Each structure stands twice: as C-alpha cells, then as structure tokens.
C-alpha cells in the first residue's frame, strides 16, 4: 500500500506564509497526480488542486486559484502546498491524495486511491 506522509500541525498568524508537505513512499512517485483537499472543521471536502510531480503540471480549483501554490520536488518524492499570506479562513485540515492512475495525462475519472493523514492548519487573526 502506498503511503502518503504529511507534515505536522501548524499554528500561524494571519499574514504569515506557510508551506506544508506530503511525502510519498513509492518509487513511482513522479508518475501519479497528487491532489490537495481541504476540510474545514465539521464540514465537507473541497478540492484545492492537483499536481503531476514529474513535470509539475498543475490544475487549480477556481475557488483556490491565486490563493495557494502547489509545487513538487521529485528528487525527494515530496509535494508542497503553500500560502504567501495566510487568512483566518485558511484554517482547516488539509489532505494530500494520490490519483489511482499513473499517467502524464490527468485521468479525471480516476479516484483518489490513497490519502495522507492530514495536516491541521490553524490561522489566528
């Protein structure tokens, strides 16, 4: 089973920057699209974006475009989600998740097969 290990909980103030990470324990890491999903306490799941680590192609949800940046370092099998200026509304649990299909072309019908354990981000105003 592929494991996605995320960085630890973060407590920040509004206006600060932040980068959280997701490390994949799988040698085929660069060839799977990795998505990010947010869950605000007690609420549902929201798709943030998705990245192909091999060439850093990205797709963003319109709701998050310009608010966050995804990146990848395939040499260490890690993808990142970062904010340049946090807002209180960015507080929540953030999950990384791997699409089930290895393909340079994003297979939009594929599910998120494996998930990280989540990173809690708390932003105070």
Tell me: does residue 115 bind another protein (CB under 8 A). Answer: yes
Q: In this complex, which beta carbon is closest to another protein, that of residue 6 or of residue 91?
A: 6
- Under the binding rule (CB under 8 A), the answer on residue 75 touching another protein is no
Q: Is 30 helix (H, G, I), strand (E, B) or coil?
A: helix
Closer to another protein by Cβ: residue 25 or 85:
25
Taken in order 90, 11, 40, 81, the sign of the CA dihedral is positive
Whole-angstrom distance, CA of residue 23 vs CA of residue 8: 12
Pick out residues in 77-106 that bind another protein (CB under 8 A). Answer: 95, 97, 100
8 is a contact residue toward another protein (CB under 8 A): no
Among 41, 66, 105, 109, binds another protein (CB under 8 A): 109
What is the rounded distance in angstroms from the CA atom of residue 74 to the CA atom of residue 92? 26
Q: What is the CA radius of gyration of the chain?
A: 14
Query: Which 10-39 positions form the footprint of another protein (CB under 8 A)?
Result: 35, 37
In Å, how far are 37, 44, 101 from 34, measured between CA atoms?
10, 19, 10
**Which residues are near another protein by CB under 8 A?**
35, 37, 43-47, 50, 59-62, 95, 97, 100, 108-118
């Amino acid at each position: 089973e592929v494991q996605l290990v995320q960085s630890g909980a973060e407590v920040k103030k509004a206006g600060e920057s932040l980068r959280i990470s997701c490390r994949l324990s799988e040698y085929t890491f660069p060839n799977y699209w990795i998505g990010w999903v947010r869950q605000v306490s007690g609420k549902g799941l929201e798709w943030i974006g998705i990245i192909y680590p091999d060439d850093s192609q990205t797709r963003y949800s319109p709701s998050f475009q310009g608010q966050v940046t995804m990146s990848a370092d395939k040499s260490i099998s890690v993808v990142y989600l970062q904010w340049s200026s946090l807002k209180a509304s960015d507080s929540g649990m953030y999950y990384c998740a791997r699409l089930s299909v290895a393909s340079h072309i994003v297979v939009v019908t594929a599910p998120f097969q494996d998930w990280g354990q989540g990173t809690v981000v708390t932003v105070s105003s």
